[in-house]
Amino acid sequence: MGRILLAVFLMALVSYLPRVLPMIFLRKRIQSPFFQSFLSYVPYAVLGAMTFPAILYATGDTASALVGLSVALLLAFYEKGLMTVAICAVLAVYVFQFFAL
Amino acid sequence: MKIQRQGRNLQAPLFFSRTRTKIRFTEDFRLGFRHGLPIALGYIPVSFAFGLLAVKGGLPAWVATLISLTNLTSAGQFAGTNLILAGASLLEITFTTLIINLRYLLMSLSLAQKLAPDLTLVQRTMLAFGITDETFTVAALEKTEITFSYMLGLIVGPYVGWGTGTLLGGIVCTLLPPTLQNALGITLYAMFIALVLPPTKKSRSILLVVAVAALVSSILTWLPVFRFLSAGWRITIVTIIACLFGAKFFPNGSHQQ
């Protein structure tokens, strides 16, 4: 058990370091326009990378995932809240799978 | 995301300023907390599955929960725990987890640019702990500067959800009805779409960056040559490529202040 806890501690350490080091050492705003621009695109790139193509495998079958994806796209296009979009997509997948199976 | 922070525009006389600061703290915290709720909801099935797998693999439920509460990262702790269960060396466990978590460097770097300048070092190190793919993107897409109280509120719900889900999964150790579990699998992705779609309507550069990211991510996922890449590495590589693309071709996108 001691070895496992040591492993957990090391995992926690290497999970925290990449998060905290930039916060400590980069307290000044970055001046380079290129790097500023680069960093400003990070959240959008991360979102795109996390969502596609992973969403297609999120529900166990591609058909229901496509249904959920379409519902989410439609509601997001009309700028509904995060909660609304999330819950409606889950319901759509659930109902679709209920009738498809 | 459309809710404005009303506290920002209050012009109270100076002698009210302590009360005003307090009100703003509470308002910002509550706004952050609201923004964090869908993340918390999405974390529950994922952390539930983590607790389940860890306990099935032979770890006590409290150790699984301890991992979730100290690591607070999906891909990294899944991989690390698998290696613990497989009896891997400490070096291998540490190195693999570190590699998967390197993407947080970019996110922390990006978020540090948006934090209100009056944050103390202690406050920054506290908030750093709560950076995940999801809390980062929500905070990064906020229109205004990120205050300490907003970020704290944003982190609390997902943190509690992540821990609670793990504990439940570890204790229950039986599956939710599979259909419900499947349906819940789409929660986080639906939220991502709700986050990313509105800004792509307003800015062509953002739309193209997202499209490049989605395309490269699909290529890295589907081409067998890249099968060896873990999810964490994939996100890192895709992010760098898509952001280089954005910074090179649209250095002055309309979303930048």
Residues of A in contact with B73 (CB under 8 A): 15
Flag whether B10 is in a domain.
Answer: no
Flag whether B157 is in a domain.
Answer: yes
- Following DSSP, what letter does each residue of A56-86 receive, concatenated? GGSSSSHHHHHHHHHHHHHHHHTT--HHHHH
pLDDT classification of B176: cutoffs 50, 70, 90: low
- Show Cβ contacts of residue B96 under 8 Å, excluding neighbours closer than 6 positions: B79, B80, B83
Q: Domains in chain A: how many in total? A: 1
Q: What is the pLDDT of residue B256?
A: 61
Most A CBs within 10 A among B143, B192, B226, hence the mutation to make, goes to B192
Query: Does position A21 have pLDDT exceeding 70, yes or no?
Result: yes
Q: What is the pLDDT of residue B14?
A: 47
pLDDT classification of B12: cutoffs 50, 70, 90: very low
Nearest CA-CA distance, residue B122 and chain A, Å: 9
Flag whether B212 is in a domain.
Answer: yes
For A59-84, what is the mean pLDDT?
A: 92
Q: Is the dihedral of CA B116, B122, B128, B130 positive or negative?
A: negative
Asked if omega into A53 is within 30° of 0 (cis), the reply is yes
Does B218 lie in the same domain as B98? no
Half-sphere exposure of residue B132: CA atoms within 13 angstroms, side-chain side? 27
The proportion of chain B whose per-residue pLDDT surpasses 90, expressed as a percent, equals 46
Inter-residue contact B113 to A29 (CB < 8 Å)? yes
Query: Does position B132 have pLDDT exceeding 50, yes or no?
Result: yes
Q: Which of A69-78, A83-92, B44-53 has the lowest mean pLDDT?
A: B44-53
Name the amino acid, one letter, at B113. Answer: Q
A73: nearest CA partner in chain B: B193
Query: Does position A99 have pLDDT exceeding 80, yes or no?
Result: yes
- Average pLDDT value for chain B: 85
pLDDT classification of B237: cutoffs 50, 70, 90: confident
Q: What is the pLDDT of residue B184?
A: 74
Does B156 lie in the same domain as B32? yes
Does B241 lie in the same domain as B115? no
Domain hosting A29: range is 2-100
Is B175 near chain A, with CB under 8 Å? Answer: no
Does B160 lie in the same domain as B35? yes
Per-residue model confidence as pLDDT tens digits over B20-37: 667 788 899 999 999 999
Domain hosting B137: range is 18-185
pLDDT classification of B127: cutoffs 50, 70, 90: very high
B117: nearest CA partner in chain A: A27
Quote the distance between the C-alpha of residue B234 and its chain's center. Answer: 16
Flag whether B5 is in a domain.
Answer: no
How much is the ipTM here? Answer: 0.85
Name the amino acid, one letter, at B79. Answer: A
Does B44 lie in the same domain as B145? yes
Q: Tokens 């998967």: give the residue.
A: B100
Q: Domains in chain B: how many in total? A: 2
Packing angle, helices A82-100 and B17-56, rounded to 10: 30
Helices (H), ranges, B86-120: 90-101, 103-112
The three-state secondary structure class of B230 is: coil
> A67 vs B48, which has greater pLDDT?
A67
Inter-residue contact B166 to B27 (CB < 8 Å)? no
Residue B91's CB is within 10 A of a number of other CB atoms, namely 9
B108 with A18: Cβ contact below 8 A: yes
Q: Which of A8-12, B100-104, B152-156 has the lowest mean pLDDT?
A: B100-104
B70 with A8: Cβ contact below 8 A: yes
- Show Cβ contacts of residue A9 under 8 Å, excluding neighbours closer than 6 positions: B70
Does B176 lie in the same domain as B76? yes
